[in-house]
Structure 1
């Protein structure tokens, strides 16, 4: 598995998410402007709800921007232990310790991108090939690390 192409795929996916959130925020702001009226309190309530939605979208957008910045610190170097930037293969799947993005498909392989702060990454942190770690009372063996 080529780590550089994996990181590029993640960057692309994060960029797509950023564009989607920016579009949603823009559309929500536009609909907020459409509700301006002198008809009374119920429109004020509607505008307030739209503003809360914009705030929620902005929070999610900021989180993705933080992930994109964090991804810049993940180097495509080989790893011999489970750590930030490592691709860890266990009996249950293939995990890339980088950003919390969920499952992506690269080179016809499903890879689950997890944050170094996730319980799974913390459980396997520092472990090497053929070592066993435990999460939720379930043992998993590390089959390979890249």
Structure 2
């Protein structure tokens, strides 16, 4: 497995999410400005709801920027033990421990992108190849770590 390429895919996905959130914030602000100028004080509640939406989008944006920045600390060097930046193959699937972004297809394989804080990553943390761990009553064996 080529971990630098997978890391680029993750960076790209996060950048896409950030760009989309920035677009949504700009569009919502523009809509809020139009509401302010044309509706008057009678629609204060509506304006407050729009402002809350902007705040929610800003929180999501900040979190995605934080996640993208956290990628800088991930080593692409091979790992002996499972931890942040590990690509782990178990008998149940492939997992890249970096950020939680769902699943990607890479070289016709499905790789699940999981956060180091996730229960699955915590169950694997510190394990080496051939070790077995249990998650929700199901045992998995670590086949390979990159």
Could you tell me which runs of 5 or more consecutive residues in structure 1 were left unpaired when the two chains were aligned: none
Residues 50-129 of structure 1: pairs in structure 2 closer than 5 A: 50-129=50-129
Within 1, Cα distance between the matches of 2:65 and 2:40? 39
Q: What's the C-alpha RMSD, in Å, of the aligned pairs?
A: 1.1
Within 1, Cα distance between the matches of 2:17 and 2:111? 18
Write the deviation string for residues 7-45 of structure 1: whole angstroms up to 9, x where unpaired: 11111111100000000000000111111235443x111
Within 2, Cα distance between the matches of 1:39 and 1:16? 36
Within 1, Cα distance between the matches of 2:81 and 2:102? 21
Could you tell me which runs of 5 or more consecutive residues in structure 2 were left unpaired when the two chains were aligned: none
TM-score by length of 2: 0.95
Length, aligned pairs only? 145
* TM superposition outliers: structure 1 runs of 4+ over 3 Å: 37-40
Larger % of helix: which?
A: 2
Within 2, Cα distance between the matches of 1:108 and 1:58? 35
More off after superposition, 18-27 vs 126-135: 126-135
TM-score by length of 1: 0.95
